[in-house]
Amino acid sequence: MFLATDDDHEPARVRQQGFERVMTTSLRRKAGREPGSGQLRDDSSPDRVVTAIRQGLMTGRFVPGQRLVEADIHQTLGVSRGPIREAMKRLSAEGVVTLQPHRGACIRALTRSDAVDLLQALEVIVGLAAQLAAQKIEGSGNQALLEERYRRLAELGPAADLVPQAIERTGFYEAIFKIADNRELANMNPMAPTLILRMQIHGYLSAEERGLQFSDYAHLYEAIRGARPGRASAVVRRHIRRSTQQILRLPDIAFTAYRCR
């Protein structure tokens, strides 16, 4: 967990500073550079920076409020400053980073109002994706895809560490959007801001609250697998509205401790 009480603020800041030092070798390879080789693939430099930041969010290497230093990104990925700045503009438009005049970019930290707005959008977007997935579940390979992604998530359980759970939860939702087979809807899915929100609030939720939210994945899986679109959208609606109530009850520090500094 990142934060649990006011007293935990300093350990969280120390952890954040540790994340700021360097990306791992695997992240460099995903971004297109073999460590020590100095060789870059021909894919777009801004694309490689965007991919690296998204992967870093997924694996917990970047946290809300963390400053992104151009020189560090250049040293790690071998990308010049122009493409780095272009990538930051793209990530800002996606709600992943905040651009600050004369200070550069940092990973976005959501306010309470931001979180509520995000959840309102997710209720519609994910609800429709679940409904469409239930309608199309009999399509080729769809049952197997949903079953595999749910199995991997369920095996972790609600008490799993944040990072592996975030990876498998994201995979489960990606399967739903894939089965829904609506490109425009998939493009609307705010995956990265949702990951950021989970990082901010995870440590403030009780085991009971996390378990209750986690149990909804089984209900959603059964509804989609059973080709029950109305039930699937209702499960999403209940899940997200409960999340909204949790957000409204959280202490202010959940939304201030990670602010860009």
Q: Do 84 and 120 reside in the same domain of the chain?
A: no
Tell me which of 72, 91, 107 is where a domain ends: 107
Return the percentage of the chain with pLDDT > 90, whole number.
Answer: 68
SS3 of the chain? CCCCCHHHHHHHHHHHHHHCCCCCHHHHHHHCECCCCCCECCCCHHHHHHHHHHHHHHCCCCCCCCEECHHHHHHHHCCCHHHHHHHHHHHHHCCCEEEECCCEEEECCCCHHHHHHHHHHHHHHHHHHHHHHHHHCCCCCHHHHHHHHHHHHHHHCCCCCHHHHHHHHHHHHHHHHHHHCCHHHHHHCCHHHHHHHHHHHHHHCCHHHHHHHHHHHHHHHHHHHCCCHHHHHHHHHHHHHHHHHHHHHCCCHHHHCCCCC
Q: Could you read off the pLDDT of 103-134 as tens digits, one per residue?
A: 889 999 999 999 999 999 999 999 999 999 99
Tell me which of 107, 129, 157 is where a domain ends: 107
Q: Do 59 and 124 reside in the same domain of the chain?
A: no
Q: Do 201 and 219 reside in the same domain of the chain?
A: yes
Q: Do 116 and 43 reside in the same domain of the chain?
A: no
Tally of domains within the chain: 2
Q: Do 40 and 13 reside in the same domain of the chain?
A: yes
Q: Residue 45: inside a domain, yes or no?
A: yes
Q: Residue 186: inside a domain, yes or no?
A: yes
Would the pLDDT of 23 be above 80? Answer: no
Tell me which of 92, 107, 122 is where a domain ends: 107
Q: Do 191 and 232 reside in the same domain of the chain?
A: yes
Q: Could you read off the pLDDT of 209-227 as tens digits, one per residue?
A: 999 999 999 999 999 999 9
pTM: 0.80
Query: Whole-angstrom Cα distance, residue 115 to residue 81?
Result: 32
Q: Do 169 and 251 reside in the same domain of the chain?
A: yes
Q: Do 80 and 141 reside in the same domain of the chain?
A: no
Q: Which residues pair with 98 in a beta bridge?
A: 106
Q: Which domain holds residue 164?
A: 112-256
Q: Do 167 and 40 reside in the same domain of the chain?
A: no
96-132 burial, b for 16+ CB within 10 Å, e for fewer? Answer: bbbeeeeebbbbbbbeeebbeebbeebbebbbbbbbb
Q: Residue 117: inside a domain, yes or no?
A: yes
Q: What is the mean pLDDT of residues 142-168?
A: 95
Q: Could you read off the pLDDT of 238-254 as tens digits, one per residue?
A: 999 999 999 999 999 99
Q: Do 152 and 224 reside in the same domain of the chain?
A: yes
Q: Residue 261: inside a domain, yes or no?
A: no
98: CATH: 1.10.10.10
